[in-house]
Structure 1
């Protein structure tokens, strides 16, 4: 078996548009596609029509996918998955951590890790944990 890539997929309980705005600001994400339930299924209930069925964001060379999820199912926030981001510079890492933590919280302050890089963990307002790393210089 050959796996080309693994892409995180966030189910955000109706908060996908807020998440997109945060990830654009904090991570420089670019929205590559966004479909609403009403775009795909004209017979869906009125309350579902404007909910995001699927969105794909580009973050550097990586892809994030997300959805508001079904209206009638309560999904847990965050879960037990962290997204690891590898930044080119310490300045870019610190800028993104600050932006994510502004409405979230720092779980592990950025520090010089024993493997010779900067490392930290931040949880955003949607419960998603971001493990960040960059070279020291």
Structure 2
């Protein structure tokens, strides 16, 4: 079975990754710059060509600094499903800092907790949790 690992092209991958790590918990696993991988000695040498971060209990996001203009995050939505509404609410609140809440995080008629937002980098997130904690 395949595993989805989103790849985000960013205007500032280091800042965006730091924000996600602080908001969702996790670690910066690796960073490779253009200078390190290709020996580039110009304006691109410090730009990130590949970055891996683990967030929210072992999910991976790959990132790089974009070399061209792009529309930030408006063509996708990232979803993280947490085992408890408390954990999900905390992540939602942190991601919403400097962003825009589309749907507040609250219990939905169909039984899940759900909140949707666009973070300060323009990436759309759906944060979910079951109505009853799945922790043992």
**TM-score using structure 2 length:** 0.90
Alignment of structure 1 residues 1-137 onto 2, 5 Å? 3-13=1-11, 15-42=12-39, 44-59=40-55, 60-70=57-67, 73-137=68-132
How far 1:128 moved relative to its partner? 0.6
> Could you report, residue by residue, the CA deviation over 1:67-121 in whole angstroms, capped at 9, with x for unpaired residues?
1022xx2111113100010011111111111111111111111121233110010
RMSD over aligned CA atoms reads 1.3
Distance in 1, matches of 2:2 and 2:97, equals 34
Distance in 2, matches of 1:62 and 1:17, equals 18
Distance in 2, matches of 1:97 and 1:12, equals 21
Distance in 2, matches of 1:84 and 1:47, equals 35
**TM-score using structure 1 length:** 0.89
Distance in 2, matches of 1:98 and 1:110, equals 9
How far 1:45 moved relative to its partner? 4.6
Superposed structure 1 runs of 4+ greater than 6 Å apart: none
Q: How many aligned positions are there?
A: 131
Q: Unmatched 5+ residue regions in structure 2?
A: none
How far 1:29 moved relative to its partner? 2.2
